[in-house]
Amino acid sequence: MSEEIKTFKVTIDNITIDVAPGTTILNAARQIGGDVTPPAMCYYSKLEGSGGKCRTCLVEVAAGSTADPRPMPKLVASCRTAVMDGMVVKNITSDKVLDARNGVVEFLLINHPLDCPICDQAGECHLQDLSYEHGTEGTRYEFKRRTFEKEDIGPLIQLHMTRCILCYRCTYVADQITDKRVHGILDRGDHAEISTYISKAIDNDFSGNMIDVCPVGALTDKTFRFKNRVWFTKPVDAHRDCENPKCCGKATLWLRGDEVYRVTTRTDPWGEVQSFDGKPGWICNTCRFEKKKTSDWVVEGLTTISRHSVIGANKYAKLEMPKDTIKEVLDGRDPKLLMDIHSVSGVNKPEIYLSELDRPAHIEDFAKPTEHKLDKPVQPSLLNEEKK
Amino acid sequence: MKKLLLEKAHVEGIRTYEVYRREGGYRSVEKALKMAPADITEEVKKSGLRGRGGAGFPTGLKWSFLAKPEGIPRHLVVNADESEPGTFKDRYLMEFIPHLLIEGMVVSSFALGSNVSYIYIRGEYAWIVDILEEAIAEAKQNGFLGKNILDSGFDCEIYVHRGAGAYICGEETALLESLEGKRGNPRIKPPFPAVKGVWERPTVVNNVETIAAVVPIINDGGEEYAKIGVGKSTGTKLISACGNINKPGVFEIDMTISVEEFIYSDEYCGGIPNGKKLKACIPGGSSVPILPANLLLTTAKGEKRMMNYESLSDGGFATGSMMGSGGFIVLDEDQCVVRHTYTLARFYRHESCGQCSPCREGTGWMEKILLNIENGKGKKSDIDLLWDIQRRIEGNTICPLGDAAAWPVAAAIRHFRDEFEWHVQNPGECLKRNFGLAHYADAIHVPVAG
């Protein structure tokens, strides 16, 4: 009998699942997947000690365990709370949780610059996703947002402290992936900042992974800076034989045409680095910053982006084919021509109906710039009779 | 009333070992080392001693939770990082009668099996570090510390560790981080310090006053100690009183007196100066809810409010407060509650460690809104916003600092809402007169909980 009890039964939002003892609520919810999974800004399963800080993953424990079914008095951080057998957790079914989460998102945003239009992280930013789901359209914060002195932390990584949400992930990367940590949190409270004691100090073979773990645009790739928007680039999986034994050599290339704009680690559905053979697939700085030719890599194929971010939203996952004809778009109704643009437009030659061509339009079909007389008034004629 | 801790505090030269010993010091060590460690814990349990740092958790119970795995050292850490505004009782105790703490620590270390114990003291108490280190050296010379204390085979060393000026390091896990030489960020619990504390070893963290109270418990016996006080508030408690009172200072009380007596009796605070009336009071250090005069003196049930754990928290946060750490701050009718709340919010914003988002961002936001209201730039909606912010901080943070920052704001709005509204409606008025609404000093309608 005791042989059989090797798993804990945990119910999250009325979905019951068996998980191994020691699993956290968050990881149990990830096994279920979907909306049940609490968002996590600071927790990173591959970084030991991370989590507990951002408070976005707060959940309500309605029953502690079968042995002690009392509810927990406070909301708990699901990333750092281990499940017990018979635990009942409420995430999106609890108003208390949603209210607290909205609160956390509001707190995270009050001092965030919201400079998404010029931020390289836009499109793959966890804070953006979180704000879409839990943020409000306006802000109740009426004060000057917090700013920091600019700090140059090195040649490869750009630090934007104003965007930082102090998840501490990058310090864990420096501690656990690189040889030594030269940056950290200086100061405390709302003036705490990520910084190096000596400027331009971050210079390490694996420091680039800090960029990938950063949930916001606080740490971005200097070699990709302002080059492109992530949703214009095409992610492909690729690998190469890296001479660095600690580098896994498996990466995602972000292409536009044949040009490699950016190299990152491969991510799993939770925005974390993928594991290969049980080991997190961190890549070295050589792969990331220097191998920017497709010839450096063996391309495996398109990356599937399942994350519900801007990139994934309508491009790669659940692609819906556009409807073929206007009739289909209008649910079977015939289009009604209100105005013949053809006769108004100075773009194409008046004698050619582009819509009636049985071939793609060529340059000859269009009016030459010189033929384009703006001063001559064109007579608009409603409902071209000849066409019918 | 018999004083247990401060009775000898003003004997000439009590700081020195000779005088302290002559006055009956270190008797408890002699007695305790002949007892079994478990019996000492049992004695502390019997005494009903509750943690004096603020939370009021039963000390004996806390000690009994200490994990005792084979071969792993255990530690006692005394929390002397007394940084709560309004609380200065430990400073008094350590400054005037340092040997009492050392004596209590030796006994407690023996009970807990800690061979190396620490005093984590706030950095600002620099001169007390010297006093304590001198006391430790004297105790060592006289065989009450060091190797083989009183030929019992028990070794104990005490080290004094100075903090670097952070309120957050008074939180026990942040204290342990700081003691380890790291950034003083609170740890995520569990594991609790009793299982994994300093250097991942089982650790008990106790307040200075708690450890000092172990001395009379061992000397007189736990049952004798439990006879003092009332209900679950046993023994004596040090109260550091300040604010608008005639006699600010540290008083040892036996928790059977009423709040009214404590404020107006000549033995304690000696009343409010200049014939002013009592407006409000924070009974247990800056983080506990503020109470207006009428709720302070009588509970919502109409009973007299007493100076003990149960009575002060009677009515929950709706109409009650907390004993806290015993920092008793009295406000007379001239004091402005908004300004006062702003001052506290400023403190918590400055002291937030910045680790978790609600506290890091929320404390700063509250401070700015309060400053606006105080300066006459506030809006009526700001009051509701403040309430919303504090509600979303409270309970959602890693450590109790978030709660400590939220409670004073919540209580101020709960009990003094029309003073906030008055500030909004009469912008800048309070800056000219430098006080808020005096009418709270008069008896007003007592809201009933629920």
The per-residue pLDDT for range B158-199, each reduced to its tens digit, is: 999 999 989 999 999 999 999 999 999 999 988 899 999 999
> What is the pLDDT of chain B when averaged over all its residues?
91
Of the partner residues B360, B388, B393, the one whose CB lies closest to the CB of residue A189: B360
Distance CA A169, CA A175 (A): 10
Give the per-residue pLDDT at A257: 86
What's the whole-number mean pLDDT along residues A315-323?
A: 61
Give the per-residue pLDDT at B430: 81
Of the partner residues B356, B363, B365, the one whose CB lies closest to the CB of residue A55: B356
Tokens of residue A313, six digits: 């939203």
Per cent of chain B over pLDDT 90 is 81
Strands across the sheet with B114-121, in order?
B157-162, B114-121, B74-80, B203-207
From B368's Cα to the closest Cα of chain A, the distance in A is 8
Side chain identity at residue B397, one-letter code: T
Give the N- to C-terminal CA distance of chain B in Å, as an integer.
38
Tokens of residue B392, six digits: 């979303």
Tokens of residue A44, six digits: 């990173």
A40 inside 8 A of chain B by CB? no
Q: Tell me: the pLDDT tens digits for B189-217? A: 888 999 999 999 999 999 999 999 999 99
* Confidence category of residue A361, pLDDT binned at 50, 70, 90: confident
Q: Tell me: the pLDDT tens digits for B329-344? A: 999 988 899 999 999 9
A53 inside 8 A of chain B by CB? yes
The residue ranges of every structural domain in chain A are 8-104, 230-314, 326-371
CB B431 within 8 A of CB B387: no
Q: How far is CA B417 from the centre of its chain?
A: 27
Chain A residues within an 8 Å CB radius of B355: 53, 166, 168
- Chain B's closest residue to A190, CA to CA, is B360
* Confidence category of residue A383, pLDDT binned at 50, 70, 90: very low
- Please tell me which residue, A357 or B323, carries the higher pLDDT value: B323
Q: Are strands A250-256 and A234-239 parallel, antiparallel or unpaired?
A: antiparallel
Give the per-residue pLDDT at A10: 93
CB B412 within 8 A of CB B183: no
Q: Tell me: the pLDDT tens digits for B15-51? A: 999 999 999 999 999 999 999 999 999 999 999 999 9
Rounded (5°) CA angle B342-A75-B57: 75
Distance CA A132, CA A87 (A): 30
Give the per-residue pLDDT at A320: 65
CB B390 within 8 A of CB B406: yes
The verdict on a CB contact (< 8 Å) between A189 and B357 is no
Q: Tell me: the pLDDT tens digits for B393-445? A: 999 999 999 999 999 999 999 999 989 999 999 888 888 776 666 666 655 45
- Please tell me which residue, A310 or A72, carries the higher pLDDT value: A72
Give the per-residue pLDDT at B397: 93
The verdict on a CB contact (< 8 Å) between A190 and B357 is no
What's the whole-number mean pLDDT along residues A321-334?
A: 77
Tokens of residue B242, six digits: 């300040």
CA neighbor of B326 nearest in space, from B124, B50, B79, B52: B52
CA neighbor of A84 nearest in space, from A70, A101, A102: A70
Is the pLDDT at A3 greater than 60, yes or no?
Answer: no
Of the partner residues B351, B355, B361, the one whose CB lies closest to the CB of residue A107: B361
Distance CA B64, CA B75 (A): 14
Q: Tell me: the pLDDT tens digits for B221-278? A: 999 999 998 888 999 999 999 999 999 999 999 889 999 999 999 999 999 998 888 9
Distance CA A285, CA A209 (A): 8
Of the residues A26, A48, A53, the best mutation for testing chain B's interface (the one with the most B CB atoms within 10 Å of its CB) is A53
* Confidence category of residue A385, pLDDT binned at 50, 70, 90: very low
* Confidence category of residue A343, pLDDT binned at 50, 70, 90: low
Most confident of A368-372, B383-387, B436-440: B383-387
Of the residues B168, B171, B192, B357, the best mutation for testing chain A's interface (the one with the most A CB atoms within 10 Å of its CB) is B357
What's the whole-number mean pLDDT along residues B82-99?
A: 93
The verdict on a CB contact (< 8 Å) between B396 and A192 is no
Residues in chain B, how many? 450
From B348's Cα to the closest Cα of chain A, the distance in A is 9
Distance CA A46, CA A281 (A): 10
Distance CA B342, CA B406 (A): 12
* Confidence category of residue A347, pLDDT binned at 50, 70, 90: low
Write out the DSSP string of A101-152: HHHHHHHHHHT----GGG-TTTTS-HHHHHHHHH--SS----SPPP------
> What is the pLDDT of chain A when averaged over all its residues?
84
Q: How far is CA B205 from the centre of its chain?
A: 13
Distance CA B321, CA B313 (A): 5
- Rg, Å, chain A Cα set: 27
Give the per-residue pLDDT at B190: 85
Is the pLDDT at B449 greater than 70, yes or no?
Answer: no
* Confidence category of residue A303, pLDDT binned at 50, 70, 90: confident
Instruction: Tell me which CATH code domain A8-104 carries.
Output: 3.10.20.740
Strand-pairing partners, residue B76, are B117, B204
Of the partner residues B349, B365, B396, the one whose CB lies closest to the CB of residue A110: B365
Q: Which helix (H) or strand (E) holds B259?
A: helix B259-264
From B385's Cα to the closest Cα of chain A, the distance in A is 8
Is the pLDDT at A88 greater than 50, yes or no?
Answer: yes
- Rg, Å, chain B Cα set: 22
Q: Which residue has the tokens 């945003």?
A: A109
Tokens of residue B424, six digits: 């909004």
A201 inside 8 A of chain B by CB? no
Distance CA B237, CA B268 (A): 13
Q: Tell me: the pLDDT tens digits for A252-283? A: 999 988 899 999 999 888 888 999 988 899 99
The verdict on a CB contact (< 8 Å) between B353 and A52 is no
Chain A residues within an 8 Å CB radius of B397: 55
What's the whole-number mean pLDDT along residues A36-51?
A: 92
**Domains of chain B with CATH codes:** 17-227 (3.40.50.11540), 233-332 (3.10.20.600), 337-434 (1.20.1440.230)
Instruction: Determine how many CB atoms are found less than 10 A away from the CB of residue B64.
Output: 14
Per cent of chain A over pLDDT 70 is 84
The verdict on a CB contact (< 8 Å) between B183 and A185 is yes
pTM over 0.90: no
Q: Tell me: the pLDDT tens digits for B275-310? A: 888 999 999 999 999 999 988 998 888 889 999 999
Residue B243 phi, psi (nearest 5): 100, -150
Write out the DSSP string of B51-114: -TTTT--BHHHHHHT----TT--EEEEEEE---STT--HHHHHHHH-HHHHHHHHHHHHHHHTE
E strands, B172-265, are 203-207, 229-230, 233-234, 237-243, 249-253
Is the pLDDT at B55 greater than 90, yes or no?
Answer: no
The verdict on a CB contact (< 8 Å) between A107 and B349 is no
Give the per-residue pLDDT at A382: 46
User: Taking a contact as any Cβ pair under 8 Å apart, which residues of chain A between 68 and 97 contact chain B?
Assistant: 74-75, 77, 80
- Chain B's closest residue to A143, CA to CA, is B368
Chain A residues within an 8 Å CB radius of B398: 52-53, 77
How many CB pairs below 8 A link A and B?
92
